[in-house]
């Protein structure tokens, strides 16, 4: 693949920790975690803090996958609004889902604060931009439901959304001030750093190829020939899930999201584009999302082909947007 079509938006900090690919043999871990993305590293941090012996195995380098490549928009909530969740899951389970969804952005920003992570972030909200009257009505309905639950949200009219985004053409939108943006690569690497400092082992370039359980203990085999033993195994592979556990890959539908970025914007231009530092995604079924980066670029993302990019044509729809 030409390097020009795989040049990540986010840059690895010069102070990023280095992790070894060697593994110590012998003994049995309390938990072996397969996958060193946000899910795996967060699990490792909490498990190590609870006094468990933990080993993380990543097939590549920490931050190389989706955890370090995504758009960095931290948005509470789910696709479906509170009333829909309660209607479909019942009051007890529905309310639990609503409460969980409402807490998700707090979980990210709290760990940045509590662990003193060196992660560039802005927490001034997320804007869902409405491009049709139908979308605007849906935004008003969403606003009503979350406002009734005490969420810090606001319905935006056409003039307000134009002023906040710098874009023309939206009919209005919805502002959720609980949301924000982070540098996702820094976040992933910093989670790895604090998990390691808490006692979790982290090994890169260690692809797991086999799991077997004997007498209540898991044997975890890597492509390089290492074999580890663990009382429990967490598969935190998400989009990279393969045949390691039969049937699991069939529950995952990996989708590609492509991103492009401008050069750093001149001050006179930057002053009118997302001056408050919010994240934005529009109301299209296959949406476009955008934000400012810590170094002053505008980063825009959206759908991609079902394989990695191979030509400039794969980015054309984003450049038009």
CB 125 within 8 A of CB 280: no
What are the backbone angles phi and psi of residue 74, rounded to the nearest 5°?
A: -105, 105
**Which pLDDT score, from 0 to 100, does residue 1 have?**
36
Q: 302: domain CATH number?
A: 3.30.9.10
Q: What is the pLDDT of residue 284?
A: 83
From first to last of its 321 residues, the chain has per-residue pLDDT tens of 345 556 789 998 888 888 887 787 678 999 999 999 999 999 999 999 999 999 999 999 999 999 999 999 999 999 999 999 999 999 999 999 999 999 999 999 999 999 999 999 999 999 999 999 999 999 999 999 999 999 999 999 999 999 999 999 999 999 999 999 999 999 999 999 999 999 999 999 999 999 999 999 999 999 999 999 999 999 999 989 999 999 999 999 888 889 999 999 999 999 999 999 999 999 888 789 999 999 999 999 998 777 778 888 888 888 888
pLDDT value of position 2: 44
Domain boundary residue among 207, 224, 251?
A: 251
Residue numbers of the domain that contains 27: 17-70+185-251
* Distant-in-sequence, close-in-space partners of 234: CB < 8 Å, separation ≥ 6: 31, 32, 33, 34, 35, 40, 43
Quote the pLDDT of residue 256.
Answer: 86
Question: How many percent of the chain have pLDDT more than 90?
Answer: 82
Q: What is the model's pLDDT at position 4?
A: 55
Domain assignment of residue 12, yes or no: no
Q: Counting every residue, how long is the chain?
A: 321
Cα angle for residues 242, 243, 248 (degrees, 5° grid): 80
Please tell me whether residues 289 and 247 are part of one structural domain.
no
The beta strands (E) that lie in 58-147 are given as 73-74, 121-122, 126-130
- 92 and 153 together in one domain: yes
Structural domain count of the chain: 2
For residues 227 and 97, membership in a common domain is answered with no
Residues 167, 98 within the same domain: yes
| Span 200-213, pLDDT tens digits | 999 999 999 999 99
- For residue 269, what are the CA distances in angstroms to 46, 123, 168, 316? 43, 22, 15, 23
What is the reported pLDDT for 306? 78
Check if the beta carbon of residue 155 is closer than 8 Å to that of residue 172: yes
Which of 234, 251, 268 terminates a domain? The answer is 251
Whole-angstrom Cα distance, residue 111 to residue 90?
Answer: 31
Q: Are residues 220 and 146 in the same domain?
A: no
């Amino acid at each position: 693949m030409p390097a020009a079509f795989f040049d990540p938006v986010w840059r690895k900090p010069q102070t990023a920790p280095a992790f070894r690919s060697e593994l110590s043999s012998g003994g049995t871990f309390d938990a072996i975690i397969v996958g060193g993305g946000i899910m795996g590293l967060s699990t490792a941090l909490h498990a190590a803090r609870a006094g468990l012996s933990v080993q993380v195995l990543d097939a590549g380098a920490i931050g190389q996958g989706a955890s370090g490549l995504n758009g960095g928009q931290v948005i509470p909530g789910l696709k479906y609004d509170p009333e829909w969740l309660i209607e479909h899951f019942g009051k007890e389970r529905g309310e639990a889902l609503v409460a969980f969804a409402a807490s998700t952005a707090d979980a990210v920003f709290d760990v940045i604060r509590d662990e003193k992570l060196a992660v560039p972030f802005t927490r001034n909200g997320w804007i869902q931009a409405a491009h049709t009257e139908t979308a605007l009505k849906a935004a008003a309905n969403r606003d009503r439901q979350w406002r009734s639950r005490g969420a810090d949200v606001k319905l935006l009219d056409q003039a307000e959304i134009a002023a906040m985004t710098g874009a023309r053409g939206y009919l209005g939108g919805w502002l959720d001030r609980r949301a924000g943006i982070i540098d996702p690569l820094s976040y992933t690497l910093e989670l790895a750093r604090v998990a390691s400092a808490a006692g979790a082992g982290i090994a890169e370039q260690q692809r797991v190829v086999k799991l077997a359980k004997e007498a209540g203990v898991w044997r975890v085999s890597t492509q390089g020939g290492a074999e580890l033993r663990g009382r429990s195994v967490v598969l935190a592979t998400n989009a990279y899930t393969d045949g390691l556990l039969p049937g699991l890959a069939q529950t995952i539908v990996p989708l590609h999201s492509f991103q492009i970025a401008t050069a750093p914007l001149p001050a006179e231009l930057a002053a009118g584009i997302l001056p408050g530092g919010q994240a934005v995604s529009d109301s299209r079924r296959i949406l476009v999302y955008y934000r400012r980066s810590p170094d002053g670029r505008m980063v825009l993302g959206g759908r991609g082909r079902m394989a990695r990019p191979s030509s400039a044509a794969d980015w054309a729809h984003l450049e038009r947007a």
